[in-house]
Chains A and B, each alone.
Chain A
Amino acid sequence: MSQSKQQKQTIVFTTFMVITVLVSAISIGVFFYIFFNGISVLSWGFFTGVPENGMTEGGIFPAIMGTLILIVGSGLVAFPMGILAGIFMNEYAHQNWFKKFVRLMTNNLAGIPSIVFGLFGMAFFVNGLGFGVSILSGCLTLGVLILPIIIRTTEESLKFIPDDYRLASYALGASKWQTIWRVILPAALPNIVTGVILAIGRVAGETAAILFTVAAYFLPKMPTSIYDETMALPYHLYVISTSGTDIEKARPYADGTALTLLMLVFGLNLLANWYRKRLNKKIKV
């Protein structure tokens, strides 16, 4: 009796293990497929050139630059506001209906599909405020998209700071803001940075939100002002793999673009992980 119980458990547990390993195998599969198809395409010229022959070959420099611009721009929009909002949630807000409401709204904002952000950006920034299809509109749209991520990580990082820090600072006569600025934020900063890097990864891969707010189909020159359109890596990949002039011929070019995007996002994730690990070690010592 007990033996069959044990056998049953072994069978079920093994099945569970196999399924879990299969799940991780998916990510390995996708990663290496993109990697081995794209690696032969990557070259210095690929990163520094512009698309040629109806976007079937050439380089992806304008798309890379566009994505970097969007990362910096949306960061400028979201980081200050998101970090301040995170400080509000953990340091200033009282446990009342308002804090609950703000949390509810933040969570809901995080759950809104990115295409809805795209439409909102189009209706509000592009048409409503008259910014047009531009880097400005794109950065603002992406900024509100990553706002909840920044708020949450900031709040979580601040929660980890023991109250002793705050009390010690107050005891020395520091004001509330001095305490936050000089004591709390420096202590929480590394964790906040991790969240910031993850948000950057989200911006780098985001497509639906930039479709109608900033992305240009083909624009080989660099933007000169924030009112210009720009190409971007994820949108570029979408275009050349679905609606280019000659999709078959553009496959190697698309493979290279996909790998570049994946490396960028994966690199950012690695960076965040590495930073978090280094930090945890430091704290232990």
Chain B
Amino acid sequence: MMTRKKIFEKIIEAVIYASGTATTIVVLLIVFFLFREGLGLFRQAPMQKTYTVAVHPQNPVRQLSIDQLKAIFSKKEKNWKTFGGKDQSIETFSSEDIEKHLKGQDLGEAFSKLKGLVTTYAQNKENLVVVMPKKFMPNKFVPIPTEHMSIGAFFGGKEWRPTSEPIHSFGVLPIIAGTLLVCFGALLFAIPTAIIAAIYLVEIANKKVRNIINPFIELLAGIPSVIYGFFGLVVIVPFIQKTFALDMGETALAGSIILGIISLPTIITISEDAIRSVPRELKEASFALGANHLQTIFKVIVPYALSGIVSAAILGVGRTVGETMAVLMVTGNAAQMPSSFLDSVRVITSTVAAELGETAQGGIHYRALFMLACVLFILTFWFNLLAEWIVAKKTQK
């Protein structure tokens, strides 16, 4: 009887220990799956999976980089001489051109006649470069090895055109710039406002006022982000459109306003905790030296609570960077380099949310979006660690 009880106790203990490791396991799983899908981006060429590049056998060019291909297909480079070939103009052919060049021809069931038709079309065109699925490549054309998507092209690329054919562009600079702009605008007013509110609530307001205001701050934190997005869409966006006489009000400014509001309660509550933890003796000592309340706040309380306030601000940054629905609904999502707060911008989260639904699983676009999520994960993970480290350092002292 006694042993049975002991065994039961041991089992319970094991279950509890296992549950204790749950969050660690989840974090590891998240890291594993995000990066497995995301890093695959750099093992593929930035075009559709089955596609290859090929040139006419008489063309001496046997190597073309992704950038060169992009230049060729966007008609920026027009002569083979640039790439070490003969002095002749470049002609291009990709899946998009089937309609143009083989118009009215019978392609057969499931494109069974396509290869033949393309071969007829291409065989005498020495200056032709073709990007097509392998099985439709014209006979005798020489395949050119394609480079994988490079890390530099992802993080340093200025163009985000995930569906441009035949070569996709996955440069995240416009998206990073959009994220920075929106978050910067949000925090510019949210951080000072939140710190002031925290100081007021802890130090200045009496208990009655605090009890009235606190539920509103909690409400602010409790409203789902999709409601903020809806509110932004029907109130703030039209307001901005009217005020600045724009064609559309979905701008970085709208995103900043909404994100600022969303990050307020996070920064307020954590700053409040920091300010509340200032020892009473410090305050009393300051009063005893003849300082008034205002001086005490700025010379004693804020400096003492600074590490907590800074970590509150950092967590606020993390909150704004990771916010998805509200930004998605009010910023217009144009993937371009923003030049002002009145431009439509696209941030990391909204890019993922808006585009992932339309991608093929395992495709390059899918992987590029997972890579973006990895960036997001690393950023927020880093912000959390930083915030905790700052507080831990202070406690050690």
Residues of A within 8 A of B (CB): 5-6, 8-9, 12-13, 15-17, 19-21, 23-24, 26-28, 30-31, 33-34, 81-82, 84-85, 87-89, 91-93, 101-102, 104-109, 111-120, 122-124, 127-128, 144, 147-148, 151, 175-177, 201, 204-208, 211-212, 234-235, 237-238, 241-242, 251, 254, 258, 261-262, 265-266, 269, 273
Contacts and interface: CB of A to CB of B under 8 A. Distances in A.
A238 B222 CA distance: 18
Contact of A262 (B201, B220, B227, B292): B227
B23 A113 contact: no
Contacts of A128: 33
B268 interface: yes
A123 B34 contact: yes
A208 B353 contact: yes
B131 interface: no
Given A16-B204, A88-B16, A102-B20, A144 B353 contact: no
A34 B227 CA distance: 9
Determine chain A's interface SS by DSSP, over half rule. helix
Contacts of B26: 109, 144, 147
Counting from the closest, the 8 A-B pairs by CB-CB distance are A205-B224, A113-B322, A88-B20, A84-B19, A24-B216, A9-B294, A208-B324, A123-B33
Given A13-B294, A273-B215, A116 B9 contact: no
Nearest to A124: B33
Contact of B217 (A24, A147, A241): A24
A123 B205 CA distance: 49
Interface residues of B, number: 84
B73 interface: no
B387 to A, nearest CB: 8
Contacts, number: 248
Contact of A120 (B16, B30, B199): B30
B12 interface: yes
A105 B20 contact: no
Nearest to A238: B226
B115 to A, nearest CB: 33
Contacts of B13: 92, 176-177
Contacts of B19: 81-82, 84-85, 87-88
A102 B380 contact: no
Interface stretch (B119-127, B158-166, B229-237): B229-237
25 contacts: A8-B294, A16-B200, A23-B193, A33-B231, A84-B19, A87-B16, A104-B388, A108-B27, A112-B380, A113-B322, A113-B376, A115-B349, A116-B322, A116-B373, A120-B33, A123-B33, A147-B22, A177-B12, A212-B357, A238-B325, A238-B328, A241-B229, A251-B234, A261-B227, A262-B224
B4 to A, nearest CB: 12
A207 B205 contact: no
B15 to A, nearest CB: 6
B264 interface: yes
A246 to B, nearest CB: 15
B201 to A, nearest CB: 6
A34 B293 CA distance: 40
A234 B328 CA distance: 14
Contacts of B213: 20-21, 24
B149 to A, nearest CB: 19
Interface in B265-300: 268, 292-295
A250 to B, nearest CB: 12
Contacts of A9: 292-294
A17 B205 contact: yes
Contacts of B369: 119
